[in-house]
Amino acid sequence: MSRDEALQMVCHAIAQIQEQSGRKVDVLNEHSRPFVDVDGFDSLNGEEVTALLLEDLSFGPDFNPFTPADDGDLTIGEIADRLAANATAKQEVV
């Protein structure tokens, strides 16, 4: 999985959860921080997005791309990097 594919997946999943929650879907990019920049996005929404991504990618239940960085909330780009790296590692194991 490329970084661009991972970015697209994360943005789509966040937008889907925002729509299902009845919230405005903001323009998302790799610099957006979901917990800071996305209207009403909270830890429950993070879990919902993670569930969507895990379903699509068949990662194990212990994988959480939203685990906070040492310096604060992750950007969508950083989340996508984690997805892409995990997908690559998974392909190498198989």
Percent of the chain with pLDDT over 70: 85
Query: What domain count does the chain have?
Result: 1
User: What length is written for the chain?
Assistant: 94
Helix, strand, coil shares of the chain, percent, nearest 5, are: 60, 0, 40
pLDDT mean across residues, the chain: 85
Task: Print burial letters for 20-41: b (CB count within 10 Å at least 16), e (below 16).
Answer: ebeeeeeebebebbbeebbeeb
Q: List the structure tokens of 54.
A: 């895990």
Residue 9 sits in a domain of what CATH number?
1.10.1200
Q: Would you say residue 43 has pLDDT above 50?
A: yes
Range of the domain at 24: 3-93
Q: How far apart are CA 88 and CA 91, in angstroms?
A: 5
- The 10s digit of each residue's pLDDT in 1-42 is 899 999 999 999 999 999 999 998 889 999 999 999 999 999
Do 49 and 17 contact (CB within 8 A), yes or no? yes
